[in-house]
Amino acid sequence: MSAVDIAGVAKTYGPVAVLDHVSIDFEAGRFTSLLGPSGSGKTTLLRIVAGFVIPDLGTVRIRGEDVTAMPVWKRDIGIVFQSYALFPHMSVMGNVVFGLNRRGIRGAEARRRAAEALETVRLTGFDDRRPKQLSGGQQQRVALARAIVTRPKVLLLDEPLSALDRRLRQEMQVELLRIQRESGLTTIFVTHDQEEALTLSDRIAILDKGRIIQQGEPSAIYERPRTRFAASFLGDANFLSGTVVRGAVRVGNVTVRCDGALPADGTTVTLAVRPERMAMVALGDGHGDGGNAVMGVVHTVTYAGAVTTYRLDGPGGLALRVFVQNRDGTRFAPGSEVRLQWSPADTVCLED
């Protein structure tokens, strides 16, 4: 069942089409991320759901009710902004009860519900502190408690973790997912961070230039991107351009096979292969298994603890990247000639 339905929404600012007839539904109780670069339209779409922006065309429905022209305060939503937007002159408790007071819930009942929300975000005992006395992560939790205390129909999150350092951000991702799972809130999350989207989401919608490029479960988009943009924005990919010949793709002087249908012979196509799906072996050690293989020369090695990234020159000037888990200590030095092997099942023929 959909909690939020967007149908044919368009928004322009002057000559710029920020959203170009976007249609998407958000399933009740699920965590959906809107992922895309700056200017892709994701924040505008979130603000249209919230009611801060009125679309030029299209409709917005929340639980079946048309709210396209409804003011923000009537939509029964919770919002956490990138800046948290806490009231500096109020205590933690004051910030959390604010939304309840605006809804006519005051006194002991408001304090009880606020205390429950603070317990959910693990800030019990912080009632009397002011925002300036809290760390960035604690301020983020207060903002989240304020958003969920009213028990909204939908929770909107506009890059709420972007101001945190990497370690704290990872910790808050875990907490955010726990809170969403425990509360069952329909959550729409805006981010430009691919790892964050993969970690948190039940569903991802990738936006570019005001359009939804692809949407679906994170694993489905990652394993089977439809376009070059989707393949490169959600993860890393090697791109191989060639011509279809007898059910395979001729890339330079190498034949590459992939699962799934290919267009007619003579068609120029682009294939995508994830860097971690390629195996590197020294020349003479690769025996072939019916899969794909190309020769390459290592030119850059980047060690990053758990993973080493190799950049290689492939046949015909092809630039390739390979991610290798550091398990047995085997490494290839720059200048090493190697064989790259991968399965046709890991080779995706893109639509563009």
Going 79 to 84 to 90 to 94, the CA torsion angle's sign is positive
Strands 154-158 and 186-191, by their bridges, are parallel
The reported pLDDT for the residue numbered 290 is 61
The reported pLDDT for the residue numbered 294 is 93
* Other C-beta atoms lying within 10 Å of the C-beta of residue 34: 29
Domains of the chain: 2-229 (3.40.50.300), 236-349 (2.40.50.100)
Spell out the per-residue pLDDT of the chain, length 352, in tens.
Answer: 789 999 999 999 999 999 999 999 999 999 999 999 999 999 999 999 999 999 999 999 999 999 999 999 899 999 998 887 889 999 999 999 998 998 889 999 999 999 999 999 889 999 999 999 998 889 988 999 999 999 999 999 998 888 778 888 888 888 889 989 988 999 999 998 998 999 999 999 999 999 999 999 999 999 999 999 999 999 999 999 999 999 999 998 899 999 888 999 999 999 999 999 999 998 876 555 668 999 999 999 999 889 999 999 998 889 999 999 988 777 899 999 999 999 999 999 998 7
Distance CA 127, CA 267 (A): 65
- Residue bearing tokens 């299209």: 58
Strands 16-27 and 57-62, by their bridges, are unpaired
Helix (H) or strand (E) holding 248: strand 248-251
pTM of the model: 0.90
The reported pLDDT for the residue numbered 58 is 97
The reported pLDDT for the residue numbered 288 is 57
